Each structure stands twice: as C-alpha cells, then as structure tokens.
Structure 1
Amino acid sequence: MKVAITGGIGSGKSFVCERLRKFGIAVYDCDEAAKRLMRTSVDIQKRLSDLIGTQVFADGKLQKAALVAFLLQSKHNAQAINDIVHPAVAADFERSGYDYMECAILFDSGFIDRVHIDKVVCVTAPLAERVQRIVQRDHITPAKAQEWIDRQMPQDEVLKRSHYEIVNDGKCDVNAQIQEIIEEISETNK
C-alpha cells in the first residue's frame, strides 16, 4: 500500500512525517529528493539551465535564490520546473521501496498522476496557525507567507481529494490521529 502525506505549506506535514518515523515508518521526502536530484542529475541541471539560465547553477552549485525567483514569477514557470524535476522524483520514489511519501504539491502539480498512490493523508491546520509557522520558520512577513499559501491549492480542495485528515492545530492529538490512520491502513492492507 502506497500512502502520500500532503497538505499546504505550514500545515505541519514534516512534523507529521517525523511522528510517523517515530512509529517506525520510513517516509520518502519528495522535497529532499528533488534537491538531491537537482544537485546530482546532469540532465536536470542542463534542462533547468536551458529554462532559467546558467546562473541557476553558478559555480557548479544549485543557486536556490535564482531558482525560487524564476519559480515565483508565474504559475507557468513553476509548472515548467515541475515538468523537469517531477518525473525524476517520481521514478526515484518508485525505485526507492518506500511505502509512504511526503509531497507538498501532490495535486497542484499533477504529481499524483506520476506515481502509484493508494491512500492520501491530508495534514490541515487553521490559516492563522499556518501563517505564523511560515513566518517563524522562514523569517518572512505575514503578507509574504499568505502569498505563498495562496499559490497552492486551497486546503479544503486538497482535503476533498484525500482519504484521511490529520488536524495539526496544536490542540488535537496528532499521535492519536496517526495511530488510528496507521491501524486503518494496516487493516485495509490485509
């Protein structure tokens, strides 16, 4: 059974995946895989350089600022980057042997169509909580955090497409929710 953990920026996906690891479940991190593949794949580096310009790999290293600046210019730019990186991440996941993956933009970018996933778990949190988490983590303004949130699929739309929800609002017991979902998935998988 292949399970994707998703949710908007600041929802607490990484927190939930860390809890899953404490339950003994290995979780494939799509963001980390994308970074690794952009650092190591000559094909991806060439295609990104052709798309963005050679400054994206100045000094032979990925220049995150150049990548992000291009990505944030338009949805078209973001999709063009995704079209280069996501097939490699999907293939890497399929070869990895992992059953669980963390993927922020599972539905937004069409990544769900590139991999075999049986169940989707959506991590949700109130908007104000998400903004606060992003501001604290990334040292940006609340307005910029809101802009980042607005670039993603709305939380309620992601939730509609998911099989399970984990509410990460600082009040609900995340571990109990995870345990319940793990048990239900295990029962389904028998």
Structure 2
Amino acid sequence: MKWFGLTGGLGCGKSLVTEIIRRCGYPVVDADRIVHHLYDTDLDLQMALSKTFGLDIFDNGKVVRGRLVDIIKSDISKKKILESLIHPKVSAKVDEIKARLERNKAKMAFYDIPLLFENNLDAKFDATIFINAPAEMVYQRLAARNAWTKEEVNVRQSWLLSNKEKSKRATYVIENDGSISMLEEKVEHLLEELVK
C-alpha cells in the first residue's frame, strides 16, 4: 500500500482536501480525530493530563482543547510535555489503522497530520503532500472560521515551521489559491498521478 503524509498550513484548506480525497474513494487517517478520541476515552491519558495541566482543562470529563492552548501560549515548555504524552498513543493507533488498511488491500491511503514536518516524520511516507495558500486568504479564513485575530494566527503559526519551509520539504505542493472547483481539479489530478 502506498502511504502518503498530508499536511497544510493553518487555514490553507487541508480539511477540504481530505474531504475531496475521501469522496474519490481513498482512506484518510486523521490525526486530530485520533487525538480527540484519545482525550475523550483514554483514562491513563486523562490522568496524566490532569496531573500535568490541572483539572481546569476538563469540562464534564472532556478535555477542552482551547484551555490546553491557553496554557501552552503562556508556557511553551508545556507544549513538549503535551506532545510527549499524546504522540506515542497516536502513533500506536495509526499503526493499528494502517495495518488494517493493508490487510483490506487498500491501494493507497493518506495520513492527515498537522505536525508532519515539525516532528520530522517525512521518512515514514512514500511521499508527502503540503497544502498551501496565500497569507491574506489564510487570515480571512481563520478570522471567519475561528474568529481569530491576526495576532492569534501569528502566535499559532510561530509554533510551526513556515509554509515556505514545508513547501520545500514536501514531495508535492497543492496551492489552494482559487475556487473550490479549482482545488478539486488539482487534488484529482494529483490522485491520478499517485495511483500510477
């Protein structure tokens, strides 16, 4: 099975790209969904999070991600601690899903992972795909979707490699700089190339 790492800059349209890939019939493993599931169901993880970050990060037994982000914003060293708690569990779950896809004879599959390059995971994939978009479009999308100010966008982007660096490291770059139908065409064209 061909295994592709998929990532994108904040507000660059990665979710839309994964939706297009799924519509075309290819499986997409979503790191964020796995993290949400682990936050909600993994009691060992919940205990470790409560010891490290306090009970204030929970609401009705569920982790409130926004509260974790607030803690990390005020103390960036906490980000590494959070990653050390969650990443091994996510990796184990992804390995399990990937093995199941291989048993089911999937021709190719995609792993949607926000921190692909930040965590130097490039070598785990047959190829990597980066979704990019112009900065002004990104600000507009994030302001509309998340009600983030430019300052909030810049803070979150400061935690990541630049889009320029990710574009250099990626095997393929999809520029999301037009309409949805243009993006669909670009994704479908890439899928045709990847399936060969």
What is the aligned counterpart of 1:159 among 162, 167, 182? 167
Letter matched to residue 32 of structure 2: D
Post-superposition offset of 1:58: 4.7
Q: Which moved more, 1:95-104 or 1:40-49?
A: 95-104
Letter matched to residue 80 of structure 2: Q
What is the aligned counterpart of 2:128 among 96, 120, 132? 120
What is the aligned counterpart of 1:148 among 138, 156, 179? 156
Q: In the alignment, which residue of structure 2 is the partner of 1:186? A: 195
Task: Write the mapping of 1:69-80 to structure 2, written as runs, cut at 5 A.
Answer: 69-80=70-81
Task: Write the mapping of 1:17-56 to structure 2, written as runs, cut at 5 A.
Answer: 17-56=18-57
TM-score by length of 2: 0.86
Question: For residues 75 and 105 of structure 1, what CA distance do their matches in structure 2 show?
Answer: 16
8 Å Cα contact 1:45/1:57 also seen in 2: no
Percent of residue pairs bearing the same amino acid type: 27
8 Å Cα contact 2:39/2:62 also seen in 1: no
Task: Write the mapping of 1:63-102 to structure 2, written as runs, cut at 5 A.
Answer: 63-97=64-98, 98=101, 99-102=109-112
> Over the residues paired in the alignment, what is the CA RMSD in angstroms?
1.9
8 Å Cα contact 1:86/1:111 also seen in 2: no
Q: In the alignment, which residue of structure 2 is the partner of 1:177? A: 186
What stretches of structure 2 of length at least 5 have no aligned partner? 102-108
Letter matched to residue 168 of structure 1: N
Q: Deviations over 1:129-169 (max 9, x none)?
A: 11111110001222222322232210011111110011101
TM-score by length of 1: 0.89
Question: For residues 66 and 142 of structure 2, what CA distance do their matches in structure 1 show?
Answer: 18
Q: Which moved more, 1:137-146 or 1:37-46?
A: 137-146
Q: Deviations over 1:78-135 (max 9, x none)?
A: 1211111111111111111352111111122x1617x832211000000111111111
In structure 2, the residue corresponding to 1:6 is in which secondary structure? strand
What stretches of structure 1 of length at least 5 have no aligned partner? none
Length, aligned pairs only = 185
In structure 1, the residue corresponding to 2:63 is in which secondary structure? coil
1:130 aligns with 2:131: no
8 Å Cα contact 1:8/1:105 also seen in 2: no
